[in-house]
């Protein structure tokens, strides 16, 4: 198992460590609900250094990215980030990722930890045509996510950069806690605002400890998961994978059919013809927590879908889930049933996100 630069810092505050995507990662510190609510109402801090960073540069960098990436990165400003996915040859999803435009000819691709090697090989394969410069910088960077409504006030104590003026999905470089060249990005995976800090490994521990000393609550992967489920965000390996139609997954919004890219024709056909299943959110109407792979059935107990993510929502205090159901059943307000321990528990399909900030 790999260890992030913050491994010893986690042990020092009694984190419960687990194996995740090839890394030893903190699952929780003081408890999932406590950490979750800290992010919703105050500010939490996550070590997400297991994520991968791939630098694509040179005069043909944008040509490669445009071909392998679903969204249209052509008009990104320097200092702007964009979400999308890399389609595979069959119209499925290799990975979802963020693209950061660093300068006129350089882009940073931030990919999921479990997919770094797969994504790298996919880029190498297609780059034979384009000839961009590729660097896998995943081992050079630590990634610290500072999330919550108090994130700006906490981070402002450690930097002279005007972080409050960074728009959503934009980034700047600045000094944080005395560490130079930190990429400060107004992004996150929690729905409660904040920043993601890309830090040279040697500066990670100082920034991590400084943020905690100034009020940030250490949070583990368990709270990160409950937070993203409340927002209805996809998790690769749960809600999307190589077999998933991006149209079924609700990713039409980041699919730029106005340009050419891998599997464009298949994905466009999915959109025109319609898909058999759609990703939905649902709230359980009785006691019960939906979990990945639980069945979804109709009132006659006919199988109509499957749960891909689920939890007990700390904010709603109800069971919530994400899953795929037959298209004709995927209507907000419809009652479906979750198969939990041989019991069919009613649930209501709802619009996403589940959680709305106060």
Domain 276-350, CATH 3.40.190.10 — does that match?
no
CA 346 to chain centre: 29
Q: Do 90 and 266 form a contact (C-beta atoms < 8 A)? A: yes
DSSP bridge partners of 196:
145, 185
Give the pLDDT score at 342: 86
The class that CATH gives domain 52-136 is alpha beta
Helix (H) or strand (E) holding 340: strand 335-340
Range 2-51+139-231 classified under CATH 3.30.1360.120: yes
The residue ranges of every structural domain in the chain are 2-51+139-231, 52-136, 276-350
pLDDT of 65 reads 98
The pLDDT value recorded for residue 254 is 98
- From CA 125, how far away is CA 177, in angstroms rounded? 40
Q: What is the pTM of this model?
A: 0.96
For residue 198, the model assigns a pLDDT of 98
pLDDT at residue 88 in the model = 98
Cβ atoms < 10 Å from Cβ of 4? 22
* Residue 357, pLDDT score: 83
225 contacts: CB under 8 Å, gap ≥ 6: 235, 309, 311
Could you tell me the two tokens for 129? 């045509």
Q: What is the mean pLDDT of each run of 10 residues along the chain (358 residues)?
A: 97 97 97 98 98 98 98 97 98 98 98 98 98 97 98 98 97 98 98 98 98 98 98 98 98 98 97 96 97 97 97 98 98 98 96 92
| DSSP three-state, residue 67 | helix
């Amino acid at each position: 198992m790999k260890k992030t630069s913050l491994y010893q810092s986690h042990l020092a505050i009694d984190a419960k460590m687990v194996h995740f995507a090839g890394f030893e990662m903190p699952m929780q510190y003081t408890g999932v609900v406590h950490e979750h609510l800290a992010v919703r109402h105050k500010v939490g801090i996550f070590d997400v250094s297991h994520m991968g960073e791939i630098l694509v540069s040179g005069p043909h960098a944008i040509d490669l990215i445009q071909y392998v990436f679903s969204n249209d990165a052509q008009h990104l400003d320097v200092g702007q980030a964009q979400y999308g996915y890399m389609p595979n040859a069959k119209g499925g999803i290799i990975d979802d990722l963020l693209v950061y435009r660093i300068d006129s000819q350089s882009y940073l691709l931030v990919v999921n930890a479990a997919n770094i090697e797969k994504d790298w090989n996919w880029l190498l394969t297609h780059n034979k045509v384009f000839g961009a410069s590729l660097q896998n910088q995943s081992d050079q960077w630590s990634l610290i996510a500072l999330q919550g409504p108090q994130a700006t006030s906490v981070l402002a104590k450690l930097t002279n950069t005007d972080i409050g003026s960074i728009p959503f999905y934009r980034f700047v470089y600045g000094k944080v806690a005395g560490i130079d060249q930190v990429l400060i990005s107004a992004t996150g995976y929690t729905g409660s605002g904040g920043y993601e800090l890309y830090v040279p490994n040697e500066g990670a521990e100082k920034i991590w400890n400084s943020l905690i000393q100034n009020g940030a609550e250490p949070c583990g992967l368990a709270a990160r998961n409950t937070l993203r489920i409340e927002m209805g965000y996809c998790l690769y390996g749960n809600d999307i994978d190589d077999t998933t139609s991006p149209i079924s997954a609700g990713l039409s919004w980041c699919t730029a059919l106005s340009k050419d890219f891998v599997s464009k024709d298949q994905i466009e056909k999915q959109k025109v013809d319609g898909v058999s299943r759609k990703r939905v959110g649902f709230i359980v109407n009785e006691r019960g927590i939906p979990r990945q792979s639980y069945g979804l059935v109709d009132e006659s107990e006919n199988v109509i879908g499957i749960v891909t993510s689920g939890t007990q929502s700390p904010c709603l205090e109800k069971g919530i889930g994400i899953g795929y159901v037959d298209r004709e059943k995927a209507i907000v307000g419809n009652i479906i049933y979750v198969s939990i321990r041989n019991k069919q528990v009613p649930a209501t399909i709802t619009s996403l996100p589940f959680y709305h900030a106060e």
